Amino acid sequence: MRDPRYDILFEPLQIGPVRTKNRFYVVPHATAMGMPALDEMIAFRKARAEGGWGVVCLEETMIHETSDHAPLPDPRMYNDKYIEPLSRVVAAVKEYGALAGIELAHAGASGPAINHREHPLSPTGKFPHYFINPISARTIDRQDITNFRQWYRDAALRARKAGFDIIYVYCAHNLSLLQDFLDTRTNKRTDEYGGVFENRVRLLRETLSDVKDAVGDTCAVAVRFAVEDRRRPSNITALEDGRRVVEALADVPDLWDVNVSDWAWDSGSSRFFEEGQQEPFIDFVKKVTNKPVVGVGRFTSPDAMVSQIKRGVLDLIGAARPSIADPFLPNKIDTGRHDDIRECIGCNACTAEVMTYSRIRCTQNPSAGEEHVNGWHPENVPEAHDPDASILVVGGGPAGLEAAHTLAKRGYQVSIADAGSEWGGRLVRERRMPRLSAWGRVVDYRVSQLQTMPNVNMYLESPLNADDVVGFGADHIIIATGAKWRGEGVGRHHDEPITGHDLPHVLCAEDILNDNVPSGGSVVVYDEDYYYMAAVIADRLAKAGCKVTYVTTASDPSPWTHNTLELVHVINSMNEAGIAIVVGTMITSIDEGLVTASRLLDGVESRIDADTVVLVTGQISDDELYQELVAKRQAGLIRSVERIGDCLGAGQIAQATYDGRKAGIRFGELTPTG
């Protein structure tokens, strides 16, 4: 079953006093579940253990009331009352033979500590990095340092009591008090905890020793350490202090979990980072320490994983996103089912929910975060209530493909039709736009699965009208006909069409997606969509030789990408491409050769040259067929019809795949609407 080339991935490994059954390691990663959503947390982590990961870690778990990321709900180990609830996470993970890890953390100046109305702590008083709360951290004094060390010890002892096998000391992502001590930007102390390197590393060394003393006889003690801070300028780089920390503490922890900071570089999206992009920064670590090393790289290919181990870069294949997208990735490699791996597309829809304090979600894996709430399993689906029941899905984009796949897995007779000559709906064109090719995996996974299923018929180049659908005679109809980009400029700020939108030099996203691209001249790309499309179009046009000005009503370009950790990279790439950025500005009218714009704050008008204007102001659902079918149902010509995905409401692909899964799971259970 298993290809012997991958045997190395299934070799056990000793980590201090504990032993992992294989090399698949779910690193700590946020889920925005926390203590209020304990059952969700348990179900989420359990699914990864069930899928074969040898180690499953819990995210940043706060050790004290002076540390929280509120309103993000982190797990906590402040006191004994958290032992029992977190022991339930451990039990769920161990049920499948995985080791349970916990990332004990203190956020230092990076957490506003508002849950308990405490003052955050930092080496030398500072505002929190990630939050705009008007509270400055207070300078940690000698008594605080003594207390901090005690909090870590106590939390580690509680974690051991809860049953955790691997206990972390956290020093990464610019979200850690310990990292603040290493960083010369945040540590301006003049005592023995500040100044020279040996002083700045002192608290990390002491904390690791304390935790080892407390629990090291039975638990592995890991350190999560960012060897390189890519927010420049920084003293923590793989050539300077990052390396010196590993050298100084080489064999102190039982495990080095290494990465880069900030999160926007660690969980770099596929638009801006390749798989394995951290290797040049972390590859020195194994040469310096004799202890096992784990790191991440958005690895989904077993060959890439084997290569990491064989080339001596990593001992354990760390994963956050690949384990979110496919909790069963290890088991699929183990049983030779490589084609069944649901590969992460690197879109960071998962981080966006965490950044907005909602439960984690995933574009590729709609069951992520829904294991408890909806009772969805990443692999198993409820059996068909009637295997002869037939369903017609109209539209082969992410929503339609997911619905068809779920229904087919359940055992129904499924037909899926699409007007186009290629499967994928919106992704047929989007995957060809700059930097979006990895998103095509949403289509490739589902189409390759459907093509092997005997109970599925797939029809391309099949534009269906309402009579065609009625004539098909299916028991249930799912309409997933998607949406179209608006051409008249109605958007977040425009309730009425923009004057001049109908001039010949005014295009919309549909035109660019259809390759109707101006070959030069000045172009204004106008964004009221706020996600990726306008920036991607600006990039496409700059590459085609146009002089591009990107204009948006938002205060940042592509503002939603703050949540997908892409904003900084969007801005950098726009700057590199020579795209001018105008924010907080609304286009009020379009004339030949120019647009008139108004600054939102004060209404000051300006004119911007524009041989071409591209409006990216939102999408409108393509629900005509659905509405016609509702009338047919009311006339008794069909039994049931429902609409899903962008046809129901245009948005993220993650919503479309979620809708598809929901329609697939609920068929036969609930009466569809319409």
Binding site for ligand SF4 (CB under 6 A): 321, 324-325, 344-350, 362-364
CB of 425 to ligand ADP, least distance (A): 2
**Site stretch for ligand ADP (CB under 6 A), options 69-77, 119-127, 264-272, 457-465:** 457-465
Question: What is the full DSSP assignment across 362-381?
Answer: -SS-TTTT-TTTT---SS--
Per the CB < 8 A criterion, the answer to whether 546 and 335 are in contact is no
CB atoms under 10 Å from CB of 554, counted, come to 18
Parallel, antiparallel or unpaired: strands 593-599 and 585-591:
antiparallel
Question: Are 24 and 328 spatial neighbours (Cβ–Cβ below 8 Å)?
Answer: no
Return the one option of ligand ADP, ligand SF4, none that residue 17 interacts with (CB less than 5 to 8 A, by type).
none
Closer residue to ligand SF4 (CB): 166 or 344: 344
Choose the one of ligand SF4, ligand ADP, none that binds residue 350, judging by a C-beta under 5 to 8 angstroms depending on kind: ligand SF4
Q: Report if residue 463 touches ligand ADP, rule: CB under 6 A.
A: yes
* Of residues 262, 257, 261, 235, the one with CA closest to residue 246: 257
By the 8 A CB rule, do 281 and 238 touch? yes
Contacted by 347, from ligand ADP, ligand SF4, none: CB < 5 to 8 Å by type: ligand SF4
Distance CA 377, CA 64 (A): 34
Q: How far is the CB of 276 from ligand SF4 (least distance, A)?
A: 15
Residue 443 interacts with ligand ADP (CB under 6 A)?
no
Q: Does 474 bind ligand ADP (CB under 6 A)?
A: no
Residue 327 near ligand ADP by CB under 6 A: no
Considering only the stretches 278-286, 405-413, 415-423, 528-536, report the one whose residues sit in contact with ligand ADP under the rule CB under 6 A.
415-423
Sites for ligand ADP among residues 379-398 (CB under 6 A): 394-398
Cis bond upstream, residue 557 (ω within 30): no
Contact window for ligand ADP (CB under 6 A) among 55-63, 128-136, 309-317, 413-421: 413-421
- Chosen from ligand ADP, ligand SF4, none, partner binding at 490 (C-beta under 5 to 8 Å by type): none
- The smaller minimum CB distance to ligand SF4, of residues 363 and 561, is found at 363
For strand 24-26 and strand 55-62, is the pairing parallel, antiparallel, or unpaired?
parallel
Q: Which residue, 369 or 396, has its beta carbon nearer to ligand ADP?
A: 396
User: Does residue number 513 form part of the binding site for ligand ADP (CB under 6 A)?
Assistant: no
User: Nearer Cβ to ligand ADP, position 481 or 552?
Assistant: 481
Does residue 266 interact with ligand ADP by CB under 6 A? Answer: no
The Cα-based distances of 480 to 394, 410, 413 in angstroms read 6, 19, 18
Could you tell which of ligand ADP, ligand SF4, none binds residue 344, using a CB distance below 5 to 8 A set by kind? ligand SF4
417 binds ligand ADP (CB under 6 A): yes
Q: Cα separation of 467 and 424, whole Å?
A: 24
Q: Choose between 29 and 486: whose C-beta lies nearer to ligand ADP.
A: 486
Phi, psi of 403 (to 5 degrees): -60, -45
Nearer to ligand SF4, 170 or 299 (CB): 299
Q: Which string of x and - marks every residue 654-673 that binds ligand ADP (by CB under 6 A)?
A: --x-----------------
Residue 482 in the binding site for ligand ADP (CB under 6 A): yes
Residue 419 CB, nearest distance to ligand ADP (Å)? 4
Partner from ligand SF4, ligand ADP, none contacting 399, C-beta within 5 to 8 A by type: ligand ADP
Total Cβ atoms within 10 A of residue 7: 11
* Residue 19 neighbours by CB under 8 Å, 6+ apart: 12, 13
Task: Report whether the peptide linkage leading into residue 85 is cis, meaning its omega lies within 30 degrees of zero.
Answer: no
Collapsing DSSP states into helix, strand and coil, what is residue 59? strand
Contact partners, residue 579, CB within 8 Å, separation at least 6: 538, 539, 542, 548, 549, 550
Site membership for ligand ADP, residue 399 (CB under 6 A): yes
- Residue (30 or 616) nearer to ligand ADP, CB: 616
Q: Which is nearer to ligand ADP, 319 or 416 (CB)?
A: 416
Query: Which of 122, 112, 108 is closest to 71 using CA atoms?
Result: 112
**What letter represents residue 552's amino acid?**
T
Of residues 611 through 650, those in contact with ligand ADP by CB under 6 A are 622, 625, 645-647
**Is residue 27 within 8 Å of 318, Cβ to Cβ?**
yes
Q: Is 475 exposed, middle or buried (0-12, 13-18, 19+ CB in 10 A)?
A: middle
User: Which residues, in sequence order, are CB contacts of 130 under 8 Å at separation 6+?
Assistant: 69, 110, 175
The one among 27, 102, 208, 480 contacting ligand ADP by CB under 6 A? 480
The total of other beta-carbon atoms located within 10 Å of residue 440's CB is: 16
Contact residues for ligand ADP (CB under 6 A)?
A: 394-400, 417-420, 425-426, 462-464, 480-483, 622, 625, 645-647, 656
